[in-house]
A = this chain, B = another copy of it.
Amino acid sequence: MEYLRHVHYHETDQMGVVHHSNYVKWMEEARVEFLNKVGITYKEMEEKGIISPVVSINVNYKSPAHFDDDIIIKLWVKRYNGSKIEFSYEMKNKETDQIVCEAESLHCFIKDNKIITLRREYVNYHNEFMKYVS
């Protein structure tokens, strides 16, 4: 899946580049977009009482993004075992094709304050995710 992201002025810092905390937000945006496309909208999940918190992130900054850049964020499922899902991200400057950032994020699924296993408890979500395991 690819998510195109335009860089906003308010995302820069006084180094003249995008502040590194924003890439973490872009990862989330790409994830939500992915889920929307897959047909598992995050909003719908939350309405069912399922939340999918971030367990860990890992971000490697390769070259800075600048105000007004267009960034292509490629996202794919790196691992999924029925209860945890890991996404990989590659962010490229659309114009120069330069890699901006490579990242990963790991997520679990929680309902009523308990970790749940989609494979058993939400089979339709499970089957959907299985299609994207590379």
Task: List residues of A whose CB falls within 8 A of some B CB.
Answer: 8-10, 12-17, 19-22, 24-25, 28-29, 32, 41-43, 46, 51, 53-61, 64, 67-68
- The residue in chain B whose Cβ has the minimal distance to the Cβ of A19 is B10
**B57/A20 in contact, CB under 8 A:** yes
**A32/B9 in contact, CB under 8 A:** yes
Q: How far is the CA of A12 from the CA of B21 in the complex (A)?
A: 13
Given A12-B13, A42-B68, A57-B58; 7 other pairs, CB 8 A cutoff:
A8-B32, A9-B32, A10-B19, A14-B14, A14-B67, A24-B24, A54-B61
A19: which B residues are within 8 A, CB to CB?
10
**B53/A25 in contact, CB under 8 A:** no
**B57/A59 in contact, CB under 8 A:** yes
- The residue in chain B whose Cβ has the minimal distance to the Cβ of A14 is B12
Q: How far is the CB of A45 from chain B (nearest CB, A)?
A: 11
- The residue in chain B whose Cβ has the minimal distance to the Cβ of A44 is B68
Q: How far is the CA of A12 from the CA of B20 in the complex (A)?
A: 13
Q: How far is the CB of A41 from chain B (nearest CB, A)?
A: 7
